[in-house]
Structure 1
Amino acid sequence: YYIELQRHKATVPRANHETYVIQEEVNKELIRIARKFDIKIICTNDVHFTNEDDAEAHERLICVSTGKKLADEGRMLYSKQEWMKTTEEMNAVFADIPEALTNTIEILDKVETYDIDHAPIMPFFAIPEEFGTEEEYRRRLTEEDLYNEFTRDENGNVVLSREEGEEKIRKLGGYDKLYRIKFEADYLAKLAYEGAEKRYGSPLTDELKERINFELYIMKTMGFPGYFLIVQDFINVSRETLGVSVGPGRGSAAGSCVAYCLGITQIDPVKYDLLFERFLNPDRISLPDIDVDFDDDGRARVLQYVTDKYGADNVAHIITYGTMAAKSALKDVARVEGLSIPESDRLTKMIPRRMPEVNGKELKPTLSNCYQYVPEFQAEMNNPDPTVQRTLKYACELEGNVRNIGVHACGVIICRDKISDWVPVSTAVDKLEGKLLVTQYEGRVIEETGLIKMDFLGLKTLSIIMDAVKNIEMTTGRKIDMEKIDIDDKKTYQLYCEGRTVGTFQFESAGMQKYLRELQPSTFEDLIA
C-alpha cells in the first residue's frame, strides 16, 4: 500500500482556504510515518471537474444540489483546485517531493485492463433433484456429445465446419458452461411438453412437435434455457401461490409456442400464426426480452419472492439519472445567482416550443442551439445586467449534468452472484418502495455487462379487473376466472361494436371508438388486424 498526499491551495478569494492549512499539517505527519516505516508516498488531486475553467460552473452546481445561493454565508466551498491537473501542474505542486509523482506510475502499471462487456451471466435456476443433477450430466456426457448437440441443427444434421463449431462453443462460454445449459435445456423441454399436453391435448400433432422442438433448439443453442426457467417460475408462482394477477403477455414473446406451453403467455401463437423469429433469432444475438404485467398491488409481492429465491445481494433495481434540461438549467442557475423569479420566468419562456430548422431538420432544444439560432436569446446575450449574463453562461455549461437519481420503473437485475461482484451498486429512493439497491450503470449500459434484466411492470388495469372480480364474488357469490372467459364472448364484442371501450388499452380514444362503431368487429382477428 501507499501513503497519499493532497494539496489544494486556493488562489481566489471566494474559495475554501482552510483545507490547505489542514492538509499541510496532516501531510507532515503522513510523510513522517512514510519515512519511518519505509512506505512509498504518492500524490493525488481531488478531481471534481475536468478543466480549471469549470470551477465556477461546479460551484453553481454544488449550490443547486445543496439548495443554496451564491450569496449565502456558510455554504459549502471548494478550493477550486479540483480539476484534472496535468503532469506539469502536479509536478509544480509537489516539487519538494518528486518521488510522490513518480510512484503514481507504479500504481498505473499495476492496473489491469478491464472490459465491462460480458457474455450473459445467467442465474442458476434450482432444478428438482428427482429430475437429475448437473454432476450426473458431467459424468454421462463427453465434450464430443455436447459439440454434436450444440453445433448440429434440430434434426441432427451437420451444418457447421469444425472451426465454426468450436467458435460457437467458445461464444457460449466453453464446454464447462455447456453442461449447465444442456441440463437446463432438458428440464425446460420436460416442462414445455407437459404444458403442451395441457394446452393442446394428447397426442400432439407432428407439426406442433416440430415447432416446439425448433423453439427449444434455438433457446438451447443460444444459451437461454435458464432464462425461461426463471421467468416461468415467478409467473406461475404469482398466479398459483401469491394470488397476483398476471397479464396474458405482450410484445414478440407472444410468438413463442414454448412460452405459451410454460404459462409465460396466454396467447396461442399457432392459432394466430405468430412468428417465433421475431422473438428469438440466431442471426440477431440478443437476450430475450419478456415484459411481464402484474397488478399494481401484487408486483411488490412478486419482487419479494424473486429477492427471497435468488438472494437480496443478487437482485437489484436499475438506476436512472435525471439530467438538467434547458429550462431546468436556466431556472436552477437563476435561483443560485439570485435572479428574480419574474426575470427567471422571462428567460425560460424564451425557449421556443418548436425549434428552428437547419438543413431541413428541427434543432434539439438545447441552450447552445437557442443562443445561436433563436433571435430573442441572441439579443439577450448582450444584456447589460451581469447577473443575467452569468445565468445564461453557466446554465449552458451545466445543461446535461446529472441533477438527481431515481429507480427504473420496471427493470430488475437478477444475477447468479452478488451484483457488486460484477458492477458498482448504490442505493436510490423509490416513492413507493423506499430505499432500494440499484446498479450504478443505467439501463442502456447494464445489458452490455451481461447481467440479466427482466421487466416487472405494474398495470393498473389488472388491479381494476381483480377488484371487479372480487366485487362480483362478494355481491353474487359467483367466482370468475378471467383466463377461462371465452375469447369469442358475444356480449364483449357488442361493447366494442358500440364503441364502449373507455379504460380499454389502445381502444379507448375517440378515434378508435369511432372506427369500432363503423367496422363492427365480431372476432378477435378483427381486433388484431
Structure 2
Amino acid sequence: MSLSAQFPEPIKLASPHYAELVTTSNFSFLRGGSHPEELVAHAMAAGMTALGLCDRNSFAGVVRGYGTARDNKEMSPDFRYLVGVRLVFADGTPDIIAYPEDRIAYGRLCKLLTIGNKRGEKGNPELHLKDLFGLGDLAVSDIHGPPEDFSQGQLFILMPDEANWGLTEKTLDHLCRQAPDRVWIAGVPRFDGHDRSRLARVDALAHRHGARMIASNDAYYHQPDRSIVLDVVTCIREHVTLEEAGFRLSANAERHLKLPEEMARLFADYPDAIAQTQVFAGRIRFCLSQLKYNYPEETVGNGETAQQTLERLTWEGAAKRYPKGVSDAVKRSLWTELCLIGFKGYAAYFLTVHDIVNFARYERKILCQGRGSAANSAVCFCLGITEVDPTQRTLVFGRFISTERDEPPDIDVDFEHERREEVMQYVYQKYGGRRTGLTANVTTYRSKSAIRETAKVFGVSDDTIASFNQLHWGWGSKLDLRDLATLGLNPDDPVLAQMFEVVKVLRGFPRHLSQHVGGFVITRDSLESLVPIGQSAMDSRAIIEWNKDDIDVLGILKVDILALGMLSCLRRAFELLHVHYDKQYQLTDLLSEETGQGPMDKARVYAMTHRADTIGVFQIESRAQMTMLPRLKPSRFYDLVIEVAIVRPGPIQGAWCTLT
C-alpha cells in the first residue's frame, strides 16, 4: 500500500467571511500607526471581504485607501473598501462609527463634519451628539432651509466606554430610538484576561435594546511591529517621553489587523458577531466612485451650451492671434482639441479659466500667464490663457489631455504675487463660499522633524538631537547607523536601533493639513456635500480635506491660481520702459526675440548665462543652475528647457548627472 493511500488529502476549510469595520489610519493625525494604503493592502492580502476606514472626525485619508483598493482590484475582485468616520464628541458621548448607506447619506456626513470644523479649532473639530440629529446651533443656523437630520441613511457602530457603562447604555438606547435597525455595538477583545465577561456584557447590552454585537479589533495599524510607532506618535501628541507616558500607551501590541481565522477564534462563542460584519457591509451601497463631480455649467445666458461658447470664443481668439489668417494646420489642431474637450466634457472648465484670466488682465490690469502642460494647447493660446503659440514650438497636446489617460486637465495660471488676492476674492465672490474651496496640503514628517520628534520621545538630550541633524540625512537618503560612531555613540545600541526604525516609518507620516497655495475646487452644488470643509486662518477662505493628488484620483477638476514674483518684476520693467523710453511691450514680445523678430538681440542675453550672470532670473538663479550654465552654454530657449530639466533632484539623486 502506498503512502498516499494511507494518508488522505488534508481537508481545506474555507476561511470565515470577515470585514474589519473599525480602522484608524495615520490620517487621524498622531493617533494611527499605518498609512491607509498599508491597511487596505494588508486587508486584501489577509482575505478579508471588506475594510472600512473610519478616521477621527475626518475623511482626509479615505481617498488614499480607495486608490489602493481600486488599483489592486485584480488581486481580490470581491474585496470592498468602505468609507466611514469615527465621530468623537466633545460632550463625553462614547465614540460612534458612522457609515453612509448611499451618496445622499455621505453628503450629510460631510456637512456634519463641516459643522464640527467650523465650531472647533483647526485640527480639533468640536461635535456634540445633538449635532448628529440636526439639533445643534450651527446645524440650525448654517444649513439653508429646515434643520437636517444628519443621522438619516447612516449605519452606526457604538464603541463602548468601559469606564462608564451607564453612559454607554444611555447612548445606545438613544441611538436605537433615533435609528432603529441601523445600530450595532462593537465587541472588541482587549486581551487583558476579561474578554469573556466583556463580550458577554456587550452582547447582553445589545439584545436589551434591539441592536446586535459586531466583531472588531479596533485596529490602529496593519501589523504588530507598528505598535511602537503608535506609542511614539501618542507620546508626540501628549508631549511626553515613553518613560512618562504610562497608561496613555496601549497595554499590548494587539491593535493590528487580524486574519479572519483569528477573529473567528476570538469570537467562537459569538459567531453571529462575525456574521454581522457581512450583514453590515452588505447594506452599504456607497463608494467614492459615485462622487460624480458637477462642475459649474458656465453658460453665458444666450442659449449656447458651454461647448458652443468655448468654440465661439476660440475661433474669435484665433482670428486675433493670427490676423493674417488661420492656417490649415492651426485649424486642424483647434478642431482636434475642441472635439476632445467636448468628448471629455471639459468645456466649462476652460471657460472658468478664461473668465478668471480676462478679469485679471482686462479689468484689473494684472499680468498673468498659464504654464505647465496647458502651454501645449492651441485652444489655451487662442483663449489668451497662455502666450505660447504651440504651432511655433515642439509641443504635444496629448501631454495636456488625452483619451488614453483618464486624468482631468490641469491649467496652472501665474499672477503677479502682490495682486493674486484680488483674483482669489473674485472667484469667491462669483461662485460663493459654499461652492468654492482651496485644496489642502498634507504636511508630513521629513527626516529632520522625524528624528527630532522621535528622539525626544526616547528621552534623547537636545544636544544629541542637534548632532543627529548634522549627519545630513536628507529626505531621499538612507539612515546609516554607522554614522553614529562619529558622534561617539554606539551604532549597535538596541535602543538607538529601535528609535531609528521608528524614524524610517515616521518619515512621510501626515502631521496636519494646511492650505494649498492656490488650487481651487469649484462645484455647481454645495461643496460641503462633496467633501468636509475645514478651518482657515482667513475667515473668507474655505479649505477642503483633500489634496491635489486625492482630487486627481477622483477626477475632480481644480483651477490653480498661483503667485509669481517674477511677473511683478516684469510689470515694473514694462512700466519703466514706457516711462523712460516710451516703448510698449507685452509678454508675447518677449517670445518674439527667440525667433529673431523682436526688438532686441537675444545673443547678448544668452552671453550673460554663459557667465552665470543670472542672479534674479527666474528658474536659473540657483547655485546648481549657475554651475551648469557655463558648461552647457545655451544659445536658444530649448537649451534652457533641457538645462533646467537636468538640474532637478531626480537626475542628480539618480546619479544621471553631477554638478562638480
Q: Give the AA of the match of 1:323.
A: T
**Which whole-Å CA distance do the structure 1 matches of 2:554 and 2:435 have between them?**
15
Asked if 1:107 is matched to 2:280, the reply is yes
Choose from 382, 388, 404 the match for 1:261. 382
**Which whole-Å CA distance do the structure 2 matches of 1:514 and 1:326 have between them?**
34
Q: Give the AA of the match of 2:555.
A: G
**Which whole-Å CA distance do the structure 1 matches of 2:331 and 2:501 have between them?**
67
Asked if 1:411 is matched to 2:584, the reply is no
Choose from 376, 382, 394 the match for 2:492. 382
SS at 1:456's partner residue?
Answer: strand
Tell me the equivalent position of 1:125: 297
CA apart distance, 1:353: 6.8
Deviations 1:108-152 (A, max 9, x none): 221225243877x3513332222x15xxxxxxxxxxxxxxxxxxx
Q: Give the AA of the match of 2:352.
A: I
Tell me the equivalent position of 1:23: 164
Query: Given the superposition, is the C-alpha separation of residues 189 and 79 from structure 1 closer, same or farther in structure 2, using an over 3 Å criterion?
Result: same
**Which whole-Å CA distance do the structure 1 matches of 2:223 and 2:312 have between them?**
61
CA apart distance, 1:191: 0.8
SS at 1:411's partner residue?
Answer: strand
Tell me the equivalent position of 1:229: 351
Query: Given the superposition, is the C-alpha separation of residues 380 and 351 from structure 1 closer, same or farther in structure 2, using an over 3 Å criterion?
Result: farther
Tell me the equivalent position of 2:237: 65
Q: Matches of residues 230-249 of structure 1 in structure 2 within 5 Å?
A: 230-247=352-369, 249=370
Tell me the equivalent position of 2:477: 365
Q: Matches of residues 113-262 of structure 1 in structure 2 within 5 Å?
A: 114-116=287-289, 121=293, 123-130=295-302, 132-133=303-304, 183-201=305-323, 204-247=326-369, 249-262=370-383
**Which whole-Å CA distance do the structure 2 matches of 1:496 and 1:483 have between them?**
17
The structure in which a higher percent of residues are helix is: 1
Deviations 1:323-361 (A, max 9, x none): 33444333212112221123334455557679xxxxxxx
**Which whole-Å CA distance do the structure 2 matches of 1:68 and 1:375 have between them?**
25
Choose from 210, 228, 237 the match for 1:39. 210
Tell me the equivalent position of 1:170: none
TM-score (norm 1): 0.68
**Which whole-Å CA distance do the structure 2 matches of 1:2 and 1:207 have between them?**
58
Deviations 1:221-266 (A, max 9, x none): 333222221221111111111332102x434433333222211112
TM-score (norm 2): 0.56
Please say if residues 298 and 306 of structure 2, whose CA atoms lie closer than 8 Å, have aligned partners that are also in contact: no
**Which whole-Å CA distance do the structure 1 matches of 2:248 and 2:551 have between them?**
34
SS at 2:390's partner residue?
Answer: coil
Q: Give the AA of the match of 1:303.
A: M
Please say if residues 6 and 45 of structure 1, whose CA atoms lie closer than 8 Å, have aligned partners that are also in contact: no
**Which whole-Å CA distance do the structure 2 matches of 1:507 and 1:347 have between them?**
33
**Which whole-Å CA distance do the structure 1 matches of 2:449 and 2:641 have between them?**
42
Please say if residues 232 and 454 of structure 2, whose CA atoms lie closer than 8 Å, have aligned partners that are also in contact: yes
**Which whole-Å CA distance do the structure 2 matches of 1:470 and 1:190 have between them?**
33
Query: Given the superposition, is the C-alpha separation of residues 405 and 38 from structure 1 closer, same or farther in structure 2, using an over 3 Å criterion?
Result: closer
Query: Given the superposition, is the C-alpha separation of residues 82 and 237 from structure 1 closer, same or farther in structure 2, using an over 3 Å criterion?
Result: farther
Please say if residues 316 and 438 of structure 1, whose CA atoms lie closer than 8 Å, have aligned partners that are also in contact: yes
Please say if residues 372 and 412 of structure 2, whose CA atoms lie closer than 8 Å, have aligned partners that are also in contact: yes
**Which whole-Å CA distance do the structure 1 matches of 2:330 and 2:490 have between them?**
70
Deviates more, 1:54-63 or 1:434-443: 434-443
SS at 2:368's partner residue?
Answer: coil
Tell me the equivalent position of 2:586: 482
Please say if residues 125 and 230 of structure 1, whose CA atoms lie closer than 8 Å, have aligned partners that are also in contact: no
Please say if residues 2 and 40 of structure 1, whose CA atoms lie closer than 8 Å, have aligned partners that are also in contact: no
Q: Which has the larger radius of gyration?
A: 1
Query: Given the superposition, is the C-alpha separation of residues 41 and 283 from structure 1 closer, same or farther in structure 2, using an over 3 Å criterion?
Result: closer
Deviations 1:198-241 (A, max 9, x none): 22237645554444333322322333222221221111111111
Please say if residues 116 and 448 of structure 1, whose CA atoms lie closer than 8 Å, have aligned partners that are also in contact: no
SS at 1:189's partner residue?
Answer: helix
Choose from 449, 459, 462 the match for 2:564. 459
Q: Give the AA of the match of 2:210.
A: I
Query: Given the superposition, is the C-alpha separation of residues 326 and 366 from structure 1 closer, same or farther in structure 2, using an over 3 Å criterion?
Result: farther
Tell me the equivalent position of 1:147: none
Deviates more, 1:210-219 or 1:331-340: 210-219
**Which whole-Å CA distance do the structure 1 matches of 2:232 and 2:167 have between them?**
29
Number of equivalenced pairs = 443
Please say if residues 495 and 501 of structure 1, whose CA atoms lie closer than 8 Å, have aligned partners that are also in contact: no
Q: Give the AA of the match of 1:40.
A: A
**Which whole-Å CA distance do the structure 1 matches of 2:412 and 2:393 have between them?**
20
Query: Given the superposition, is the C-alpha separation of residues 317 and 66 from structure 1 closer, same or farther in structure 2, using an over 3 Å criterion?
Result: farther
**Which whole-Å CA distance do the structure 2 matches of 1:365 and 1:507 have between them?**
25
Tell me the equivalent position of 1:156: none
CA apart distance, 1:294: 1.0
Deviations 1:379-409 (A, max 9, x none): 94532xx754553454345444223333334
Q: Give the AA of the match of 1:313.
A: R
Q: Matches of residues 338-353 of structure 1 in structure 2 within 5 Å?
A: 338-349=459-470
* Structure 2, gaps ≥5 residues long: 1-153, 177-204, 643-660
Q: Give the AA of the match of 1:288.
A: P
Please say if residues 441 and 516 of structure 2, whose CA atoms lie closer than 8 Å, have aligned partners that are also in contact: yes
**Which whole-Å CA distance do the structure 1 matches of 2:460 and 2:641 have between them?**
55
SS at 1:267's partner residue?
Answer: coil
**Which whole-Å CA distance do the structure 1 matches of 2:230 and 2:577 have between them?**
60
Choose from 598, 602, 606 the match for 1:493. 602
Asked if 1:427 is matched to 2:534, the reply is yes
**Which whole-Å CA distance do the structure 1 matches of 2:458 and 2:588 have between them?**
63
Query: Given the superposition, is the C-alpha separation of residues 382 and 493 from structure 1 closer, same or farther in structure 2, using an over 3 Å criterion?
Result: closer
Deviates more, 1:277-286 or 1:307-316: 277-286
Q: Give the AA of the match of 2:315.
A: Y
**Which whole-Å CA distance do the structure 1 matches of 2:504 and 2:395 have between them?**
49
Please say if residues 254 and 265 of structure 1, whose CA atoms lie closer than 8 Å, have aligned partners that are also in contact: yes
**Which whole-Å CA distance do the structure 1 matches of 2:155 and 2:529 have between them?**
25
**Which whole-Å CA distance do the structure 2 matches of 1:345 and 1:208 have between them?**
60
SS at 1:313's partner residue?
Answer: coil
CA apart distance, 1:292: 1.4
Please say if residues 65 and 403 of structure 1, whose CA atoms lie closer than 8 Å, have aligned partners that are also in contact: no
Query: Given the superposition, is the C-alpha separation of residues 390 and 428 from structure 1 closer, same or farther in structure 2, using an over 3 Å criterion?
Result: farther
Choose from 412, 429, 440 the match for 1:291. 412
Please say if residues 447 and 474 of structure 2, whose CA atoms lie closer than 8 Å, have aligned partners that are also in contact: no
SS at 2:220's partner residue?
Answer: coil
SS at 1:265's partner residue?
Answer: coil
Query: Given the superposition, is the C-alpha separation of residues 25 and 56 from structure 1 closer, same or farther in structure 2, using an over 3 Å criterion?
Result: farther
Query: Given the superposition, is the C-alpha separation of residues 436 and 89 from structure 1 closer, same or farther in structure 2, using an over 3 Å criterion?
Result: farther
- Superposition CA RMSD, Å: 4.4
CA apart distance, 1:29: 4.2
Please say if residues 521 and 559 of structure 2, whose CA atoms lie closer than 8 Å, have aligned partners that are also in contact: yes
**Which whole-Å CA distance do the structure 2 matches of 1:395 and 1:125 have between them?**
48
